[in-house]
Amino acid sequence: MSSDDNKKLILDLIADIPDFPKPGVTFYDITPLLASPAGLRAAVTELAALAPDGIDVVVGMEARGFILAAPVALELGAGFVPVRKPGKLPGNLYSEQFALEYGHETLTIKTDAVLPGARVLVIDDVLATGGTVGATAALVHRLGAELVHVAVLMELDSLPGGEKLAELGIGYSSVVTI
C-alpha cells in the first residue's frame, strides 16, 4: 500500500467518541485500528517511516503509546522502553508530572532503562496538549539520552501540542492530522 492509502485507512479506522472521558472532550479511539491487521500494519509502517536513522531505543508511553512503540522498535531494529504511570514499574525510577487536556498525570521510567547517549525516538498515539510528550522528553533527558525525534500517529490540530513542543525545542512529526 502507498503512504496515502495507509493514511486513509488509518483515518477510516479511528473512531470519534464525543464527551469521553468528560463532557466537551472528544476521544479518538484507536481500538478499531489495532483490531485490524491491515490498519495496525499501516500505523506501524507510517510511524517507522518518520524515524531518523540510527535509533537505539524507542520509548512509548502508557498505554496506547507503547502499544504502537513496541512494533515500531522491532521494525527499526531498536530496543523498546515503556514509560508508565506510578506503581507500574519496579526499582529506581524517575517521575515527571504534567497537565493533560482534562486533568493531571505522572509518568515514570526506570533510571537504568536507557543508556546515556542513546538515540531515542518517542512514539505516541496522539499529540493533543503536548503534556505527555513533554514529560516523556524530560524523562529521556534525565537519563542522559538524546531525544532524536517524536512521532505520533495523530495530531489534533485544534489543540496546542505542536506549539508546546516547538517551545520545548522538540522536533516531531505526525502520520495524520485530525
Catalytic residues: 64, 101
How far apart CA 178 and CA 159 sit, in angstroms, is 10
User: How many residues are recorded in the chain?
Assistant: 178
Say if CB 60 and CB 66 are below 8 A apart.
yes
| CA of residue 94 relative to chain centroid, distance | 18
How far apart CA 125 and CA 71 sit, in angstroms, is 13
How far apart CA 115 and CA 118 sit, in angstroms, is 6
